[in-house]
Amino acid sequence: MINLTINGVKIEAEEGMTIYEAAQKAGIYIPVLCYHPDLSTFGACRVCMVEANGNLVTACRLPVEEGMEVQTNTREVQEVRLFNVELILANHNQDCQTCVRNNNCKLQEVSSFVGIDLQRMERIRRFQVETPVDDSNPFFHRDHSRCILCGICIRACEEVNGVAALDFAFRGYNTAVSVAGNKPLTESSCESCGECMERCPTGALAPVKQKTPEREVASVCPYCGVGCNIFLGVRGKQIVGVRGDKESPVNHGELCVKGRFGYDFVNHPERLQKPLIKKKGEFVEASWDEALDLVAERFKGITDKNGPNALGALSSARCSNEDNYLFQKLIRSLGTNNVDHCARL
C-alpha cells in the first residue's frame, strides 16, 4: 500500500492507482470528463487537474507515490479547472432543454461544480461549428454541436467492441469525431452496438428513442446463447430501454446491437399473441388447446406412417434453457434425436 495525503487527510492507496482512483476510494470528489472507468486514460479534458507535491498534474493519469501530498481545491487548481471547462463550453450547444441528457449530463455536473459565470461565458462564447446531425443510424444520433471531444466513444469502440470505427478528424475548431471518410455511421464499419453512446458524457451520442423508465427489471437477453444479463427499463407495460448489467460475469455490462436496441418486438402491434392454424389456405386464430391437439395429431400421423425419425424439431435461442431442455425431452420421448437449436438468430 502507498501512504499519501489528499487535502491533508492521510489515506492509503494500492500501488499503481492513480490520484483520481485513490481520491474516489477515499470519497473525495475530483471532476472528470474524458475519464471512464472501463477505458484507458486519455488526460485530454484537463478538468481533473490537482496539485501534487506542488505541481499541477492530471489526477486521472498520475499514479500515487509514497508520501505524496495532493491538494484538490487550491485557488490555482480551481482557476485552471474553470478555464478548461470554459474552453469546452465556448462552442458547445447549450440548448440543454432539448437535450436528451438534460439532468443526466457529465458536462452539466462539472460546469456546476467549477462554478461557471454565465455573464463571463456570454463574453467568451465563440461560434458553433455547423455540422449536420448524423441521423443515419436507426438507433442513435451523432450531434457534433454537443460533442466535447473527450474521446470516450473512440476508446469504447476500440477497447470494448474491438471495432475502431471512430477517430478524431480535421483540426482546430473543425476537429470532430468521425468515421473513415467522414461518412454517415451506416456507411462505416460501425456495428451499432451502442457501447460508445452508452458512455458518452453529453448528448452528442444519444438514443433515437428516449424515455426515462419508471423502474428496471433484471432479465436475460433472449436473442442468443451468450445470455447477456440486462436491466429492462419499463414504463407501465412498455419496455423503453435496455442496459447491460455491469456486475454480470457473462457480459460485464456490454451488449450487442440486438440486446441493446432490439426490444421493439415485445410491444409490437403485429406480434403474434395467439396461435394461427391454416384453414383453406388462410391463417386463422385458434386457441392453444386446438393448436396443441393439432400438433399432437400430426406428430402421431407422421410417426405411425414413417417412424419417429421422420420427425425433426428446431428449438429457439429466445427460449430459456429450461424451456429448451423440456423441448428436447419431449421430442426424444417421441423416439427421435432429431432435435436442434438455432444458437444465433
* Contact footprint for ligand SF4 (CB under 6 A): 147-153, 156-157, 161, 163, 165-166, 177, 190-196, 200-202, 204-205, 221, 223-224, 226-228, 251, 255-256, 258-259
How are the residues of the chain apportioned to helix, strand and coil, as percentages rounded to the nearest 5? 30, 20, 45
Q: Taking the complex as a whole, how short is the minimal distance between the CB of residue 101 and ligand SF4, in angstroms?
A: 10
**Among residues 196 and 232, whose Cβ is nearest to ligand SF4?**
196
248 CB-near residues (< 8 Å, 6+ apart): 228, 229
Q: Taking the complex as a whole, how short is the minimal distance between the CB of residue 79 and ligand SF4, in angstroms?
A: 24
With CB atoms as reference, the residue minimizing the distance to ligand SF4 is 259
CB of 11 closer than 8 Å to CB of 29:
no
Rounded-to-integer distance, Cα 56 and Cα 50, Å? 6
**Among residues 56 and 180, whose Cβ is nearest to ligand SF4?**
180
Q: How far is CA 154 from the centre of its chain?
A: 13
In angstroms, the Cα distances linking 328 to 280, 311, 316 are 32, 13, 11
Q: Taking the complex as a whole, how short is the minimal distance between the CB of residue 141 and ligand SF4, in angstroms?
A: 10
Q: Taking the complex as a whole, how short is the minimal distance between the CB of residue 243 and ligand SF4, in angstroms?
A: 11
**Among residues 17 and 185, whose Cβ is nearest to ligand SF4?**
185
The phi-psi region of residue 171 (left if phi > 0; otherwise alpha if psi is between -120 and 50; otherwise beta) is beta
Q: Taking the complex as a whole, how short is the minimal distance between the CB of residue 169 and ligand SF4, in angstroms?
A: 12
Length, in residues, of the chain:
345
Nearest CA to 130 out of 116, 148, 143 is that of 143
**Among residues 28 and 179, whose Cβ is nearest to ligand SF4?**
179
Q: Taking the complex as a whole, how short is the minimal distance between the CB of residue 53 and ligand SF4, in angstroms?
A: 31
Rounded-to-integer distance, Cα 59 and Cα 274, Å? 59
**Among residues 11 and 204, whose Cβ is nearest to ligand SF4?**
204
**Among residues 17 and 153, whose Cβ is nearest to ligand SF4?**
153
